[in-house]
């Protein structure tokens, strides 16, 4: 092989390697951009909160007992920040672009504690984890907490169902157990209408739960 031919072959190989390097870098950058679009460019979900029950009748007794409210037990499908919906008896889905500010059980626990406080008739109530000597513990299970679409309608019915067990401490004896539920049709199909319906429905359940508990505390 002549010197000129060897130099020319080396030059070709160098150019080929350079082209391959450019292609590799280009594909890598393109891949990173695509990955970023898929993973990080989705719209930030809108966060929603609900309110505690704030009004109660005068027939609620004054209570000196100290009450601890545990985090409600919930199925994996409801133990989430996502806002649940059901369009058939055997499915559970979620609204896109909308979230609760806390996981649903934590949200309900917070609102239960605040609702008890709003009665102004209980000496001490706190959430689980606070260093409080409890006379009673309220254990709950969040069994339904979703918007339900039936009959092909685009306006859902909100269903909230809570099972409550009042436990006397330190004996850990269940002194009472009850289910509380409410259903309410949303005022419209928009997300804000659905959230207002969630708020009103949960408020009904909170009131029933608080009144029932207060009458059983000693």
Q: Give 42's pLDDT tier (boundaries 50, 70, 90).
A: low
Q: Tens digit of pLDDT for each residue in 46-101?
A: 999 999 999 999 999 999 999 999 999 999 999 999 999 999 999 999 999 999 99
Domain ranges of the chain: 1-42, 46-214
Instruction: Kindly state the percentage of the chain with pLDDT values over 70.
Output: 81
What pLDDT was estimated at residue 14?
A: 43
Q: Give this prediction's pTM.
A: 0.79
Correct CATH for 46-214 of 3.40.190.10, 3.40.50.10610, 3.20.20.70, 3.40.630.10: 3.40.50.10610
Give Cβ neighbours of residue 77 (< 8 Å, ≥ 6 apart). 84, 92
- Label residue 84 left, alpha or beta by phi (over 0 means left) and psi (-120 to 50 means alpha): beta
């Amino acid at each position: 092989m002549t010197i000129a031919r060897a130099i020319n072959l080396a030059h070709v190989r160098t150019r080929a390697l350079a082209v391959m390097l450019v292609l590799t870098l280009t594909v890598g950058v393109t891949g990173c951009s695509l990955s970023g679009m898929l993973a990080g460019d989705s719209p930030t979900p809108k966060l929603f909160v609900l309110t505690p029950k704030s009004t109660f009748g005068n027939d609620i007794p004054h209570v000196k007992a100290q009450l601890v409210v545990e985090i409600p037990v919930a199925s994996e499908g409801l133990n989430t920040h996502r806002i649940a919906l059901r369009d058939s008896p055997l499915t559970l889905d979620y609204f896109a672009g909308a979230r609760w500010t806390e996981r649903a059980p934590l949200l309900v626990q917070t609102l239960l504690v605040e609702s008890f406080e709003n009665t102004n008739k209980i000496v001490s109530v706190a959430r689980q984890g606070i260093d409080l000597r409890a006379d009673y513990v309220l254990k709950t299970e969040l069994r339904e907490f979703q918007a339900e679409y039936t009959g092909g309608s685009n306006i859902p019915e909100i269903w909230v169902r809570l099972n409550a067990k009042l436990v006397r401490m330190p004996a850990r004896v269940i002194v009472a157990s009850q289910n509380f539920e409410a259903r309410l049709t949303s005022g419209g199909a928009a997300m804000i209408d659905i959230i207002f319906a969630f708020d009103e429905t949960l408020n009904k359940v909170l009131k029933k739960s608080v009144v029932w508990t207060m009458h059983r505390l000693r």
